[in-house]
A = this chain, B = another copy of it.
Amino acid sequence: MNNARRYTLIISCPDRAGIIAAVSGFIAEHGGFIVEANYHTEQEAQRFFMRQEILADSLPFDAGEFARLFAALATKFDMSWQLSDTAHRKRLVILVSRQDHCLNDLLHRWRSGELLVDIPCVISNHEDLRSFVEWHHIPYIHVDMPGSNSADKAAAFEQIATLFDQHQGDCMVLARFMQILPPALCGRYPGRIINIHHSFLPSFVGAKPYHQAYQRGVKLIGATCHYVTDKLDAGPIIEQDTMRIDHGDSVEDLVRYGRDIEKTVLSRGLRYHVEDRVQVCGNKTIVFR
């Protein structure tokens, strides 16, 4: 993929003839060079979705001016739309507990330049991973998560939301964060909280999915990267994958294999999100890979 600066334009609107022509006509009129273009119509919803990457240098104006000029066309087609600029990296706030395989994977992709984001801080309800995170010169913030008192717990989540806002987070990543977010917090950041669940949803919702999988005797296990909503493990699915197991594998083996799927699925799903490849329609996602 081209590493030159690009604008990413994502649009959804009621489906009708002429949308591609109108949008690509607008871009062409200003000399814009499209490097990637994807379209999809969601049949049931009769809704059209598109994503276009345009070389920033091919346009005679900046993103602000693009938006101003584009507004009329957007109104005409009743579009929901968003323009982002690869020069402005998204800010990910990562939440972890004690398990670090997803965190290790994400931080490696970040420090090797594969995951083009800023990570203003990592938040955890444990101290275990401080040294590793700080080796990356990323602030590590411990938020105590009391087990029993629900008022204290609510306060802890409020603190997390405050930290997220203070650090101007664009996206909150639950990288095996072993706490269930309260509905209020989920509702506050729709389409901005991403979780990795260690099963192939909708199978094995909730706690200990590998134990559930072992008990059911399935022949493959999986993992699911999804947006968090107020319904547990039921938000729009961004990415999933499975791998084969057999009768010889213990629960501990499933947990071990599962870590590899979890980190792969989370990193892929997160990449799609960061590159504005994901759009939500109802409880489903369109992912322009």
Which residues of A come within 8 Å of B, CB atoms? 1, 17-18, 20-22, 24-25, 27-29, 31-37, 39-43, 58, 100-101, 104, 108, 112, 114, 131-132, 135, 200-204, 216-220, 222, 236-242, 246-248, 250, 252-253, 256, 259-260, 264, 283-287, 289
4 extra interchain contacts, Cβ-Cβ under 8 A, other than A22-B28, A25-B25, A200-B203? A1-B252, A217-B236, A246-B289, A247-B284
Chain B residues, Cβ within 8 Å of A43 = 250
CB contact under 8 A between A108 and B114, given known A218-B201, A236-B217, A246-B287: no
A21 interface neighbour in B27, B35, B135, Cβ under 8 Å:
B27
Closest residue to A99 on the B side, CB-wise?
B112
The listed residue (B37, B237, B264) touching A20 by CB distance below 8 A is: B37
- Complex Cα spacing A246 to B279, Å: 13
Which of B100, B101, B202, B241 is A216 in contact with, Cβ under 8 Å? B202
Q: For the complex, what is the distance from the CA of A95 to the CA of B254, rounded to whole Å?
A: 30
Residues of B within 8 A of A42 (CB): 247
Known: A104-B104, A250-B1. A239 touches B256 (CB 8 A): no
